[in-house]
Amino acid sequence: MNNFKTWLTENKLTAALAAFLILATGALGWFVYSSWDDYASAQAEYASKSAQLSGLSHKKPFPNEENLAKVTDNLNQEQSDLEKLNKTLESYRVPSFNNLDKVKPQDLPQKFQDALRTEVTRIKSLATSSGTTLPPGFYLGLEEYENSLPQPEETLSLAKQLTVLSWMAETLTTQKGMILTEFTRIAAKQVPKKEASGSPKPPASSATESISLPYQSSGTIRVSFRSNQGSFRDIVNSLSSSPYFLLIEGIQLQNTSMEPPRRDAAVQGADPTLAGTNGLQRLPIIVGRELLNISLKIRVLEFQNTGSSAISSPATKPKSN
């Protein structure tokens, strides 16, 4: 023992290295054992799951009454949900403006132009009373029909568009002090007519072209205006609760002031122009009272009556051999 102590005293570095090597070897052995144990557990679990999957893949559901009842219940539930969705979407259908669809076809273009002129006058009167500035030559996005009649075959479609255009213009002009700089209509693309039965049908370039969509586009409205933050919020809320299915395809916002408020500036009170619009406006404004330059591109969608043919009839009972 004395010789071992003497050797340790004389060979401290070697003894330290030997002790470190022993500890490292023990730790390495523990890690190897732990990893091997985890690997064995994972391998056993994989083998069990693989055998279970293989067994399930070779099984066939037995066509008994219980399984048939489950499938039938699922189909009935899907059928009910689809009918509810169809009814909801049909409620967004755009009616013809001022019942123009009941006018005689030969009188329809003139009646449409008269209704358009009267509605433009009404919107301009609303803008004057609310202090809204309309763009030059404003005519509800239908300027080409101010002095010319539409074609008879397109008048009913224009009458539906006029319904949405009038609602949109009224929503904008009811906001006090708004500056409307653009109000244009982008006509929907015309669907190509079906070819004669004897002519060959060109192949579709992609799989999506052969899919029949449950809706059609009734055109796009592009509006640009300057307003305060409260008016912009009210307009967006009106779009989301409108009686028509309006989809905001694009939006651009820009503050009229490029400089943020100074940090040492006093906290501003509520904007007097927003009084009465919302109780939240009583909160102090800490980001300034800049106006917003806003540009919106709004697409009008109309859903057709697709019925309940999308889901097949409930399954029948299995036939007995």
As averages over each run of 10 residues, the pLDDT of the chain (321 residues) reads 71 80 86 84 89 81 80 93 88 89 92 95 95 94 94 92 94 92 84 48 50 78 93 92 92 81 56 49 52 93 64 44 41
Q: Two tokens at 38?
A: 């985890």
Would you say residue 163 lies in a domain? Answer: yes
Q: Two tokens at 142?
A: 């239908």
Would you say residue 76 lies in a domain? Answer: no
Q: What is the CATH number of the domain that holds 145?
A: 3.30.70.60
pTM score above 0.75: no
CA–CA gap between residue 230 and residue 274 (Å, rounded): 6
3-class DSSP state for residue 204?
coil
Note the pLDDT of residue 190. Answer: 57
Question: CA separation (Å) from 206 to 47, 141, 211, 270, 275?
Answer: 43, 35, 10, 55, 54
Residue type, 308: S
Would you say residue 261 lies in a domain? Answer: yes
Note the pLDDT of residue 30. Answer: 84
Domain count, the chain: 1
Would you say residue 11 lies in a domain? Answer: no
Contact 215, 303 (CB under 8 A): yes
Which of 230, 226, 240 is closest to 280 using CA atoms? Answer: 230
Residue type, 265: A
3-class DSSP state for residue 248?
strand
Q: What is the CA radius of gyration of the chain?
A: 36
Would you say residue 58 lies in a domain? Answer: no
Would you say residue 162 lies in a domain? Answer: yes
The answer for 102, left when phi > 0, alpha when psi is -120 to 50, beta otherwise, is alpha
Residues 6+ apart with CB under 8 A from 305: 86, 90
Q: What is the span of the domain harbouring residue 102? A: 90-190+214-303
Would you say residue 293 lies in a domain? Answer: yes
H-helix or E-strand containing 299?
strand 292-303
